[in-house]
Structure 1
Amino acid sequence: MYVVTNRNLQPNARPEERFGATFNRKGPHELRLAEAQKVGDRWQVEILEDRVTHNGEEMWASEAAFLKAQQRMGQNKTNALFFVHGFNTAFSDALEIAHRIERLYNLEMVLFTWPSNGGGTVEGLVSYQDDKRDAAISIGAFDRCLEKMATYFLKHRDNACGCKFNLAMHSMGNYLFKRLLSSSIYQGETQLFDNIVMLAADVNNEDHATWVDRVRFRNRLFITINEDDTALLASKALAGDEQKARLGHWTRNLTARNATYLDFTDSAQIQAHHNYFTDESALRNSRIKDVFSRAFNGQKAERGLEFDSGTGAYRIL
């Protein structure tokens, strides 16, 4: 998988700690690119130089990475998922989450990882607010990454493999997304993605349609909900009055015109899970895995599901 990050580089650390919990020393908008793979139980992480030679041509490493991924997707008949993690996620944890998604759903993965605390010294409300601040500061780096991808997508469209590009954000990663969508720097770069999936979104349900309706995409925008999600319930309680009911655990006020809401609340095996797209016990319910497989692969994940006209969401049982 490829890793794009605005974290600080730690070149002498173990591979799974190669990027740290603070911003790049050149600033929060600075991006580094790496290639990561897990061999057995060990990680290999190669930090890529800014410029490389690919097929005899000198180019940006990000463009070469795009071309290599595009070629693999064509050969393996796979689709791509660009993934953004959430709160309190160390670099090593981000790698493991992305690797699990890659294996579960047979995808070409691109991980965007930002400096959330990941088990730092601060705890509780202070840690949560610190991560929210860092997520907001990361929108410039995230936007630059999307702009580069959109540029390469258009430049190399004649070599397109017919595969699909998709975007997923988990938990507080959706707060980063919200801040980008609410910013003047957003110019519709997300149009390159077939599906966009907002997983267990740790953002206010209240007034979410005002920014969600700005999201551009090619096929579907999915928002997943589990009313028993204990992590989101704790998030609301932890952060005080400025946080309302969380979008990822509330089946009321589902009013975004361009969103397809997926309600997992009563799904067998869902329980109180927050990461039900990777959790082993939740995925014992094959219907849950099937919905995410379709969503992450650019397909119509709501097909065959029961629509609840009372809530405006499709139910997964």
Structure 2
Amino acid sequence: MFIVTNREVKPSASGIKQLGLKPNSEGPNELRLAEAEKDEGKWKIKILPNILTAPMRKAVGLPSDSETAYASEYVARIIFERILQQKKNLLFFVHGYNNDVEAVLDRAQRLEELYGVEVLSFSWPANGGGAAGVASYKSDKRDARASVGALDRCLGRMAELFRDLTLERNKDLEVKVDAKFKTAANSERRDALLVELQEKTCPFTVNMMAHSMGNYLYEHTLLSVSSYANLLLFDNVVLVAADVNNLDHPKWVDRIPCRKSVFVTINENDQALRLARAKIGDDQLPRLGHYRHNLEAKQAIYVDFTEAPGVGSSHAYFEGEPVVNVASAPYRFFYKTLNGQSAHDDLTFDSGIKAYRLK
């Protein structure tokens, strides 16, 4: 799998230690790409060069005499072909508080195995600066704010590459369709056929899941009107156990661009979010991911997991006990949403809290 990160890079180190605990030495907005593979229980990391080598260009079908190509194009082409061949959907995953590289890769692997998706992880230096407790939590919030520019650049580049690769793959379709419908009177039928052929050519969805403090990072990318996060890229966006203020969350949640739906999951008994609120004392406001009040974003679909089977006090109820049984309601919800499908058939609306519950 691939990982995009603004962590420091240590080429002389081995294994996952090649990606460090601090932001990139060239600045927190500097992005690097790495390929990760698990061998005999241990992760191996290959840091990709920023500018493609001749063998890398050849491997993804880029001519040697074309303009300079970068690692992002190499990764995009590999992922694009992989999800087409394996008939998978792409999940962009932004992790939360106090996650080192190994934890991020382990979780990404579980997501791939559980839900049959291809995962591209964005990893920011969320390690608490080596501290613990309140100091660690505050340090990670500072790192999240410092990483906003990096996530913004990542989303912009993803949108650009997705557009270019889709156009490249569909470049002959418009010619064929125009040849069949030569008059303006048939424009509606022409457009319908073009969409149908495009969906057959690229039959996959691109979805995003932000977990815990990863939502804090995503929130701040959306607050700028010039942000790349405002570009349309994702089908579903799933905000899981969001460690952000419930107060004023519609200001950014209603700005999330998506082709289908924005889901916000809530667990009132989420132990990690209850502790997160306590860490800062009275100044820490109720967290979006554990508070069943003031659910007022117009485009958000709030889903209450509080009484769902197996969830309990879990902070990561997309894995572990809640989804051990693939027939369980939590598993069905995450399988559908992370694969770009609608989950409405598995939900029932509770007008008392203005949120959905799992059937």
Tell me whether the two structures share a fold, i.e. TM-score over 0.5: yes
Counterpart code for 1:256: A
Counterpart code for 1:130: S
Following superposition, the deviation at residue 132 of structure 1 comes to 0.3
1:202 matched to 2:211? The reply is no
Map of 2:75 onto structure 1: 65
Map of 1:13 onto structure 2: 13
Map of 1:106 onto structure 2: 116
Map of 1:229 onto structure 2: 270
Following superposition, the deviation at residue 126 of structure 1 comes to 1.3
Contact 1:71 1:161 in 2 (8 A): no
Map of 1:55 onto structure 2: 61
Contact 2:221 2:229 in 1 (8 A): no
Residue 314 of structure 1 aligns to a residue whose secondary structure is: strand
Following superposition, the deviation at residue 94 of structure 1 comes to 0.9
Contact 2:222 2:230 in 1 (8 A): no
Following superposition, the deviation at residue 217 of structure 1 comes to 0.8
Choose from 90, 93, 108 the match for 1:80. 90
Map of 2:125 onto structure 1: 115
Choose from 280, 292, 315 the match for 1:251. 292
Counterpart code for 1:124: G
State the percentage of identical aligned residues.
44
Counterpart code for 2:5: T
1:178 matched to 2:231? The reply is no
Following superposition, the deviation at residue 83 of structure 1 comes to 0.3
Contact 1:16 1:95 in 2 (8 A): no
Following superposition, the deviation at residue 46 of structure 1 comes to 1.0
Map of 1:93 onto structure 2: 103
Counterpart code for 2:271: T
Following superposition, the deviation at residue 105 of structure 1 comes to 0.8
CA distance in 1, matches of 2:36, 2:259: 29
Question: Structure 1 residues 49, 252: CA separation in 2 closer, same or farther (over 3 Å shift)?
Answer: same
Identify unmatched segments of 5+ residues in structure 1: none
CA distance in 2, matches of 1:230, 1:100: 22
CA distance in 1, matches of 2:125, 2:332: 31
Map of 1:268 onto structure 2: 309
Question: Structure 1 residues 130, 233: CA separation in 2 closer, same or farther (over 3 Å shift)?
Answer: same
**TM-score of the superposed pair, with normalisation by structure 1:** 0.95
CA distance in 2, matches of 1:102, 1:13: 27
1:305 matched to 2:347? The reply is yes
CA distance in 1, matches of 2:231, 2:120: 15
Choose from 129, 138, 149 the match for 1:129. 138
1:282 matched to 2:322? The reply is yes
CA distance in 2, matches of 1:40, 1:294: 31
Choose from 134, 153, 163 the match for 1:154. 163
Cα RMSD after superposing both structures = 1.5
Map of 2:189 onto structure 1: none
Map of 2:45 onto structure 1: 45
Following superposition, the deviation at residue 188 of structure 1 comes to 4.7
Following superposition, the deviation at residue 17 of structure 1 comes to 2.3
**Which structure carries more helix by proportion?**
2
CA distance in 2, matches of 1:207, 1:43: 40
Contact 2:34 2:46 in 1 (8 A): yes
Residue 183 of structure 1 aligns to a residue whose secondary structure is: coil
CA distance in 2, matches of 1:177, 1:243: 19
Contact 1:17 1:92 in 2 (8 A): no
Following superposition, the deviation at residue 9 of structure 1 comes to 0.9
Deviations along 1:103-148, one digit per CA (max 9) or x if unpaired, are 1111111010000116x53111111111001101101110111111
Moved more, 163-172 or 285-294: 285-294
Counterpart code for 2:321: S
Following superposition, the deviation at residue 304 of structure 1 comes to 2.9
**Which structure carries more strand by proportion?**
1
Contact 1:9 1:20 in 2 (8 A): yes
Following superposition, the deviation at residue 14 of structure 1 comes to 3.2
Counterpart code for 2:247: E
Following superposition, the deviation at residue 184 of structure 1 comes to 3.9
Identify unmatched segments of 5+ residues in structure 2: 170-200
Counterpart code for 1:277: F
Which is greater in Rg?
2
CA distance in 2, matches of 1:91, 1:208: 29
